[in-house]
Homo-oligomer: A and B are copies of this chain.
Amino acid sequence: MPRTKKQFEEIREQTKTKILNVALELFAKKGYSNTTISEIAKSANISKGLAYNYFESKEQLMEEVIKILFVEIENMFIALEGEKDPFEKLSRIIDLTFEWVTEREDFWRLYTNLLMQVETKVIVDKVAGNFMDSMFTEMEKMFRKMKIKNPVEEAKIFGAILDGMSFHILFLGNEYPITQMRNFLKSKYSKENLV
């Protein structure tokens, strides 16, 4: 018996997800330019031609990958929304950042690459808008709740520390004292030390 429309759609959805996952992984590992459509197709167990059935071009595939990337980042923050205690929230942000940067290294590498290159930055802007602004605002709110002086500036400093450390970890790998710094940072931004 022929498949129903719904079944077809499910298959389509599955294939598309497969391609996106594979593309994300490869773009992150090897960079956008050094990843070929052939490789992606092979890794996804489909033909080159079929990839073009799902995505107009390599660039559009990249766009969709970036979208996923930012959705995941957004989800990370949504997961924190329940947390009302700003000190606890800060602590969890630190944890999450360290977890992500170690467990999803490629992911972060792709993210950082994207932001730095003028050409891909356009794509990022298109799909992610001013996400960095909202991050700063989010953190500012936290610091304000904590009654810290200069919450605007402290939020930016805090953001810089997280991104800067991610940087250093990605660059130095195991040579970086990850656990030690994580604990140090959490202590530095703990209730006892901040207030």
Contact = CB atoms under 8 A, between A and B. Distances in A.
A128 to B, nearest CB: 11
A93 interface: no
A178 to B, nearest CB: 11
Interface stretch (A81-89, A112-120, A139-147): A112-120
A31 B117 contact: yes
Interface stretch (A15-23, A54-62, A64-72, A166-174): A166-174
A160 B153 contact: no
Nearest to A120: B31
A168 B31 contact: no
A157 interface: yes
Nearest to A168: B160
A163 B157 contact: no
A183 to B, nearest CB: 9
Contact of A118 (B29, B117, B161, B181): B29
Interface in A142-189: 150, 153, 156-157, 159-165, 167-168, 170-172, 175, 177, 180-181, 184-185, 188
Contacts of A7: none
Interface of A: 29-34, 109, 112-113, 115-119, 121, 132-133, 150, 153, 156-157, 159-165, 167-168, 170-172, 175, 177, 180-181, 184-185, 188
21 contacts: A29-B117, A30-B118, A30-B119, A33-B34, A109-B118, A113-B113, A116-B167, A116-B170, A116-B171, A121-B171, A132-B168, A153-B181, A153-B184, A156-B177, A157-B181, A160-B163, A160-B164, A160-B165, A161-B164, A163-B163, A164-B167
Given A112-B112, A133-B175, A160-B160, 18 more contacts: A29-B117, A30-B119, A31-B113, A34-B119, A112-B116, A115-B171, A116-B167, A116-B171, A132-B172, A153-B180, A156-B165, A157-B161, A157-B181, A157-B184, A157-B185, A160-B167, A164-B165, A167-B167
